[in-house]
Amino acid sequence: MPQCRGRVSGTHDRGDVTSQWSLQSFMGVIETVFGGKAETQHRETETEQKYAVLLNAGPDDTATAANGFGYVLELDDAGYETRLYLDGEATKWPAEFYENPDRPFNHEWTQIKRRDLLMGACGFCANAFEVAEACERSEVDLLSGSDEHAPEVAQLADDGFELLTMG
């Protein structure tokens, strides 16, 4: 027997009367008639789901980084709360786009910044790759000092973010 997941809803036209129905309503009737708790699986709505994209791919891995940029924009376009974090070699991107504004995927980078989806860069990694000043010059926040790693992935998970790692 096929399983129904999530909320199923629709309308049915009967002349001049339109009836609304849903799986939740149906299960409520079953629960009332037969007693007990009817179990349904609930899929979170788009606005409840949250994604943190942890980008580790730097300018030497453009294809992976481009996918990460694309995922951030696509998730945001679909209404999901989305954040981008630069980690590892990805902390080189602010300098790369600042110094080479015609570089491929600059449009996506600009959209991510314009929509405030870029949360910042790991300060430890930016210092290790000697791009901390370039991040600041590009108005990309450093999320930690030179002796700490960021972001705090456990805190993101506790805050309900699904972690997507790229690179």
pLDDT digits (tens, 9 = 90+) for 67-109: 999 999 999 999 999 999 999 999 999 999 999 999 999 999 9
CA 161 to chain centre: 8
pLDDT tens digits, one per residue of 1-15 = 444 434 333 433 444
Residue 44 neighbours by CB under 8 Å, 6+ apart:
none
Q: Which pLDDT belongs to residue 47?
A: 58
Helix (H) or strand (E) holding 65: helix 62-77
Tell which residue, 128, 112, 111, has the closest CA to residue 120. 112
- E-strand ranges in 62-140 read 81-86, 118-121
Tokens of 124: 């430890």
Q: Which residue has the tokens 């376009």?
A: 77
Give me the mean pLDDT over the 128-142 stretch.
Answer: 97
Q: Which pLDDT belongs to residue 70?
A: 98
Phi, psi (degrees; rounded to nearest 5) at 116: 60, 40
Q: Which pLDDT belongs to residue 39?
A: 41
Tokens of 50: 């949250």
Percentage of the chain beyond pLDDT 90 is: 71
pLDDT tens digits, one per residue of 35-55 = 554 443 434 444 589 999 999
State the chain's mean pLDDT as an integer: 82
Phi-psi category of residue 35: left, alpha or beta, with phi > 0 → left and psi -120 to 50 → alpha? left
pLDDT tens digits, one per residue of 27-37 = 454 455 555 54
Domains of the chain with CATH codes: 1-43 (no CATH), 50-166 (3.40.1260.10)
The β-bridge relationship of strands 81-86 and 50-55 is parallel
Asked if residues 122 and 148 have their Cβ atoms less than 8 Å apart, the reply is: no
Residue 85 neighbours by CB under 8 Å, 6+ apart:
52, 53, 54, 55, 119, 120, 121, 122, 143, 150, 151
Residue 30 neighbours by CB under 8 Å, 6+ apart:
38
Using a cut of 0.95, tell me whether the model's pTM lies above it: no
